[in-house]
Amino acid sequence: MAKTLPKTDVVIVGVGWAGGIIAAELTKAGLNVVGLERGKERKTEDYFMVHDELRYSMRYEMMQDLSKETITFRSHDNVRALPMRQYGSFLLGDGLGGSGVHWNGQTYRFLPYDFQIRSKTIERYGKDKIPADMTIRDYGITYDELEPYYDKFEKMAGISGEANPLGGKRSSEFPTPPMKKTPGIQMFTEAASKLKLHPYMMPAANLSENYTNPDGVARAACQYCGYCERYGCEYGAKADPVVTVIPVANKTGKFQIRTHSNVRRILHKGGKATGVMYIDVTTGEEIIQPADIVVVTSYVFNNVRLLLMSELGKRYDPSTGTGVVGANYAYQVVKGSAVGFFENKQFNTFAGAGSLGISIDDYNGDNFDHSDLKFIHGGVISLSQTGARPIQNNTVPAGTASWGPEFKKQSLHYANRTLAVGAQGSSMSFKQHFIDLDPTYKDTFGDPLMRITFDFREQDKELAKFLAERCNEIVKEMGADKVDFLKELGPYEIMSYQSTHNTGGVIMGAEPGTSAVNNFSQMWDADNVFVVGASSFPQNAGYNPTATVGALAYRAAEGILKYRQSGGLLV
């Protein structure tokens, strides 16, 4: 028999960026909030021995233990889905701060086009530009409406950067100046300018200088140590929930974090949630936490999984295209990139920061004419210097042996002589791409795993090829002696790391029939449930998702406070 605890105002499922932001905002406003986090506590002191590529990058120290829970995958619904038994394509976060701890900190705002993609595409190219099975949608909120929330997120995190010349309007400057320009970044800047492109320094959550945010949280500047992605920051220089929003929530005395608490069900009755049921994973005890409001912020997969297992919202049916929970799963097309080999120049590429880089948006969104192209959208193109750690960076020119004397010689020769320019391609949603409950494979509690049905389509292949060619042009202009770049995007595979930018499944929209939440991340079918995160993206943009997740979380927090006052649907 489950133990039932006293009721709280709000229970948050998963304490990462979205959960942390909402906890801070609600507790500041006086609400009592319980945060349930399935993983362990994390703090800056944990990272004293963090410069360890084997432990963090190769053995996935920060990631979810797949022996307890994973996902299953298939390319097509006529194939049997099988479990992702080992890490590859994407890395699932775990513990306090979630994926917000092991991210790189690349903090782009989406383009205005991203929020109104269906209507803008039709407006410029006509209805036929969008294939019949492509299910892209407008968010039901515009960039301009979301701008104040982006601004809030950037000020909280202390984002370093300069305005994107091809981006949406900004209400204020970045709170801190751009990061330092490395020789490689200089070369990209000059090459891009010669090609009449519009370079700007990558918006970075690695602080360019010491910074105190509006909540009074002071953090030290980034030291460019070269260990961001897959690592926690030993300086607290990289913005993450543990060093920004969570302490603010804690200080109110109204936030109670319970780690090792894995939520299995949202409890509900007559279209309203009554609380959640979770397991204390240290004792196995089943616990019920009643709450007036349930906030689900546990990354794309668990957001969808919790709704489906709790039978909350209308399940997506791919055969009819009806229902919403699990629909519009999208990803990122990152293989369209180019590597330059420089014979006569070495670089300090061992040094770096997760979001140290330079970008152009000339080939992103609808910033270029797609009339004669077989795809829509595009992606940001960047040169980033994240720290070329030695186990994972042994790039040699195509045709080089992959082991033996030639490989050793060449991989050592080029260890500090390569610069890569990469594209972060957008990913459109399709009727055939969705996530649902796997019929066979279970997690450690006996609950079904999430099942992904996804592949790259013509849209992705054309887009990747186009972006790779653009990357090639830039690297050539930078003076590389040899350039290798993608010629053809193969099928989607689960083994090689690509991007932890999974999106969709609980999408946002203007009306209930085609979306699961409104633009406050409030569920149409249960007005006291807010599902926040990249799960609400109807398709994925050509950028990293975190700034947008943060902005949507600030808006959700505002919505929750409004709901607390007035009740009912907010839109």
User: Given the rule CB under 8 A, which residues bind other proteins?
Assistant: 48-49, 51-54, 58-60, 65-67, 70, 73-75, 79-80, 82-86, 88, 180-183, 220-221, 223-226, 234-235, 237, 345-348, 350-352, 356, 389-391, 394, 402-405, 407-409, 411-412, 415-416, 440-442, 491-495
Closest to other proteins by CB, 84 vs 531, is 84
Closest to other proteins by CB, 324 vs 464, is 464
Closest to other proteins by CB, 223 vs 400, is 223
Q: Cα–Cα distance between 84 and 542 in angstroms, integer?
A: 25
Minimum distance from CB of 400 to other proteins (Å)?
A: 14
Q: Cα–Cα distance between 105 and 238 in angstroms, integer?
A: 7
Minimum distance from CB of 530 to other proteins (Å)?
A: 31
Minimum distance from CB of 402 to other proteins (Å)?
A: 7
Q: Cα–Cα distance between 78 and 452 in angstroms, integer?
A: 13
CB 116 within 8 A of CB 136: no
Minimum distance from CB of 396 to other proteins (Å)?
A: 12
Closest to other proteins by CB, 79 vs 569, is 79
Q: Cα–Cα distance between 249 and 23 in angstroms, integer?
A: 6
The number of beta carbons lying within 10 Å of the beta carbon of residue 86 is 10
Closest to other proteins by CB, 90 vs 149, is 90
Minimum distance from CB of 65 to other proteins (Å)?
A: 5
Closest to other proteins by CB, 368 vs 441, is 441
Q: Residue 288's beta-bridge partner residues?
A: 4, 277
E-strand stretches of 433-491:
434-442, 448-453, 482-485
Closest to other proteins by CB, 371 vs 496, is 496
Minimum distance from CB of 182 to other proteins (Å)?
A: 6
Q: Cα–Cα distance between 304 and 506 in angstroms, integer?
A: 6
Closest to other proteins by CB, 492 vs 537, is 492
Minimum distance from CB of 416 to other proteins (Å)?
A: 6
- Give the sign of the dihedral formed by CA 315, CA 553, CA 422, CA 118: positive
Minimum distance from CB of 91 to other proteins (Å)?
A: 12
Q: Cα–Cα distance between 266 and 290 in angstroms, integer?
A: 10
Between the CA of residue 496 and those of 60, 91, 500, what are the distances in Å? 14, 11, 12
Kindly state the helix (H) or strand (E) to which residue 493 belongs, with its residue range. none
Closest to other proteins by CB, 109 vs 219, is 219
Q: Is 236 helix (H, G, I), strand (E, B) or coil?
A: coil
The pair of structure tokens assigned to 513 is 């029939």
Q: Which residues are catalytic?
A: 501
Q: Is 328 helix (H, G, I), strand (E, B) or coil?
A: strand
The pair of structure tokens assigned to 512 is 């209930």
Q: Is 218 helix (H, G, I), strand (E, B) or coil?
A: strand
Minimum distance from CB of 53 to other proteins (Å)?
A: 6
Which of 358, 430, 332, 384 lies closest to 130, judged by CA?
430
The number of beta carbons lying within 10 Å of the beta carbon of residue 100 is 29
Q: Which residues of 276-310 are buried (b: 16+ CB within 10 A; e: fewer)?
A: bbbbbbeeeeebbbbbbbbbbbbbbbbbbbbbbbb
Between the CA of residue 199 and those of 188, 250, 271, what are the distances in Å? 8, 40, 49
User: How many helices (H) and strands (E) are present in the chain, helices listed first?
Assistant: 12, 23
**DSSP secondary-structure letter at 491?**
-
